[in-house]
Amino acid sequence: MRTLIENAIVLTMDDKGHVWQDGYVLFDEEKILEAGEGSCGKACDIRIDGRQGILMPGMVNVHSHIPMIPFRSMGDDCPDRLRRFLFPLELEAMTPKLVYAAARYAVCELLLSGVTSVLDMYYFEDQVARACEETGIRAWAGETVIGQETCDSKEAYGGLELCEDLICRWRGHERIHPLVAPHATNTSSPEMLKAAYDLAEKYQVPYTLHVSEMDYEMSYFKEKYGKTPIAFLKGLGVLGERTVAVHCIHATEEDIRLLAETGTKVAHCAGSNTKAGKGICPALDMKRAGVCVGVGTDGPSSGNTLDLFTQFKMIASFQKTRYHDRSAFPAREIVALGTTGGAQVLGAEKEIGSIEAGKRADLVLLETESVNMFPLFNPYSAVVYSANASNVDSVWVQGRLLVQGHRLTEMDLQEERERLWSEMSEFKSLAGKYQDVI
């Protein structure tokens, strides 16, 4: 089955920066066969008029905790909410069924906003992988490894064994990719951070953790080790091409040099970082130093949304403000962070991230007929500064049409919402004791 999308503005995001103003993309059930300007001239089974919409690679969200949908809008303005109620309520209320239902609902939001790949770290991650496999999205899934009791492990660091089970079950899957996910530099011991990295090395999978995010994290490492968290990780031997360091808000000039030197990747989560008043990641300095940077939303509790359009605007505004430079991070570079950059962060640049023959047919068609998309002179600027999730008309993952005409094709959003709300009954009851902070 071959599908041809024509009469579209095609943002290829390839190395040469091709933009086809009257472009087409031909693909089958799996891969892109051809892309170019004008008429295709090849036989197809399905022909789609792009109506001069913007056809771009599927977007890549390189850091999230998608099952945290139930926590959305709770305690958004509460200081230290992680320890005041997030950790406690997770321990009390999260169950495999709730994680599964929340993950399915989250995938609805991701797909409807044009995200075709997501990296997730949470608990009961086998249920997240199951939800992502069923719903058609491409996912990197990691069980959280942390030095405390959790909702899926009575023992501290029990997540490490669960993580290995997850890897053994899902490795080799064409869309679901397991990884190792210690929680953070300050919530896991040095020994367990290294053990988790060794596990990632054993199975040749990515390794991701929160790094240089908190003020107290920075103070702790300075006082105890005389180092920054990033320098500490370098000494442990856990920085490298398979490592995705999340946040890195407080990265120093020397830290950035270490990231570049080791090939460590960075997940930049502008929305959650600034919402929490934590600071602005020096992403521009990182890019200039050769560090690979992708875009993450963080969880729907931390950033309240799973779409990258919101992040694009925040990256532009906060980076330009940080450097007092309107020309910093032009729109094309920001779109690249959410497509090719994300693919590189995940080590999947040969498969996804750009529209090129041979790559997976992960595609997003943005309609340009809505009031916010006219006039359109620069398509990159339109994606970053004008567009939002409501402009996503169609989405394909590996050639499979999952969104058409702004609606999910294989899931019923209302049914998923009702399923989740029903599964949240006990969660809502337990949340009542934290009413003073949420």
Q: Can you give the pLDDT at residue 436? A: 87
Residues of the chain with pLDDT under 50: none
Q: Can you give the pLDDT at residue 41? A: 84
Tell me: do 370 and 303 sit in the same domain: no
Does the pTM surpass 0.95? The reply is yes
Tell me: do 66 and 100 sit in the same domain: yes
Tell me: do 115 and 135 sit in the same domain: yes
Burial 324-354 (b: 16+ CB within 10 A, else e): eeeebbbbbbbbbbbbbbbbbbbbbbebbbb
Q: What are the residues whose beta carbons fall under 8 Å from the beta carbon of 434, sequence distance 6 or more? A: 74, 75, 84, 85, 88, 89
Q: Residue 183: enclosing H or E segment and its boundaries? A: none
Per-residue pLDDT reduced to its tens digit, 274-296: 999 999 999 999 999 999 999 99
Q: Quick check: is 427 in a domain?
A: no
Amino acid at 279: G
**Counted domains in the chain:** 2
Taking the C-alpha atoms of residue 241 and residue 229, their distance in angstroms, rounded to an integer, is 18
36: CATH: 2.30.40.10
Q: Can you give the pLDDT at residue 308? A: 98
Tell me: do 294 and 373 sit in the same domain: no
Tell me: do 140 and 202 sit in the same domain: yes
Which among 118, 209, 117 has a CA at the least distance from the CA of 160?
209
CA dihedral 193, 197, 200, 201 (to 10 degrees): -160
Q: Can you give the pLDDT at residue 80? A: 86
Q: Quick check: is 18 in a domain?
A: yes
- Full residue range of the structural domain in which residue 140 is found: 59-345
CB 8 within 8 A of CB 39: no
Tell me: do 385 and 257 sit in the same domain: no
